[in-house]
Amino acid sequence: MAQMLRASPVPLRLVGLGHSGQAYFWFFINMDSIDRTENNIPHSRRHHLRQWRNGLLWGCAWAAGVTKATEVHASTVDFPRRPITLWVPWAAGGATDLSLRVLAELAGQRLGQRIIIENRGGAGGTLAMPILQQAQADGYTLAQMPQTVFRMPWTHPVTWHPVRDTTPILQVSGVTFGLFVPSSSPWRSVAEVLAWAKQHPGQLSIATNGIGTTPHVVMDDWLARQGLSFIHVPYKGVAEQMLGVASGQVMMGVGANGFAPYVEGGKVRLLATMAAKRSAKWKDVPTLHELGHGIIATSPYGIAGPKGMPPAIVQVLHDAFKAAMFDATHIAELGKYDQELAYLNPADYAYAMQMALDKEKEVVHRLGLGGSKP
């Protein structure tokens, strides 16, 4: 062992630290230097030097052994042994629901077990959180984490916490938002909508995918700054919302890019998007930002499990979902809705989740939407 350590450094791996989830610390041990130092010090102190040297050698050997044992355990964990449930906090049939079904099927193929999608729409996409809070941390219960779970604790009293009650698996993608009207609507621009709303105070009806969602918060703030009020029509998810707008039940819709099939099918007209730049899919549609309204809104999402999940199980799930994410079939499904991959590993996603919670606190307090504490 001593000869091996003289020749090469010993890597110590601490799983879960560092930018990529792992950090490597190298200890370079120059035994010749130690030997020369030993010859130059009083005999009475050589015993202590030898103890320090031997302790360092054995410590390095022990750490390397622990690392190897951890790697073996992670690769041989007996998981999964039965189907996994992935909770989607939106009504079935929306863009996020459909793309997550593709992702779950691909990840299930890699895990050798089915991943069953369960929908629980309502409450702005936060109804999966109580399920995670009460579930066992065994890896068989997962949920999508939309942006609203980081906002809700600041606007309403809730019993769950989006960071403390979860174990991050990975971030998947993100959605942008748009303003759209029925194809039969006379409005062909945002300016025309605002002009009508000013002439008919309080009569503009706007559909969103739920109370407290990003489209709701953005519209509330934006129109308030314009001195305008509107009739809010919240739905449980994008699928129901799009039917309401396409049929003309609601005058305008603001929502995630699940509107894509309806725009392509000629059922709704897209007036503007809320991205930082124009969509590659709809290059002739302006952004609210370029129209001078100063609005950029995106909503990243990922997958998490209950708090306290074993790291080995987290690694198995992460690897399966990451491989599924980058599968051409999943990428093509996201492309239907003008979405791109936004991968983050467990460590980076945990950091992003905390940052999202902090950011939403600032937004909620700035807009005066609530005063709850998570």
How far apart CA 158 and CA 317 sit, in angstroms, is 28
* Count of structural domains within the chain: 3
Q: What residue type is assigned to position 75 of the chain?
A: S
What element of type H or E holds 182? Answer: strand 166-182
Average pLDDT over residues 103-110: 98
188 lies in the same domain as 324: no
Q: Tell whether the model's pLDDT for residue 26 goes beyond 80.
A: no
Q: Are 353 and 150 in contact (CB under 8 A)?
A: yes
Question: Which sign does the torsion angle of CA 181, 186, 187, 192 carry?
Answer: negative
How far apart CA 111 and CA 114 sit, in angstroms, is 8
204 lies in the same domain as 223: yes
pLDDT tens-digit map of 264-280 = 999 999 999 998 889 88
How far apart CA 59 and CA 374 sit, in angstroms, is 42
State both tokens at 274: 């809320």
Within a domain: residue 32? yes
Any idea what DSSP says for residue 294? -
Mean pLDDT comparison of 190-199, 257-266, 280-289, 295-304, highest-scoring range: 190-199
Domain stops at, among 293, 308, 324? 293
Residue 18 domain boundaries: 2-76
* Other residues' Cβ atoms within 10 Å of the Cβ of residue 9: 13
Within a domain: residue 207? yes
How far apart CA 75 and CA 289 sit, in angstroms, is 48
pLDDT tens-digit map of 169-193 = 999 998 889 999 999 999 999 999 9
Q: Are 209 and 242 in contact (CB under 8 A)?
A: no
The mean pLDDT of the chain is: 83
CATH code at position 196? 3.40.190.10
pLDDT tens-digit map of 63-80 = 444 443 334 344 458 999
CATH code at position 160? 3.40.190.150
188 lies in the same domain as 289: yes
Q: Where are the alpha helices (DSSP H) in 226-310?
A: 238-246, 260-264
Domain stops at, among 271, 293, 315? 293
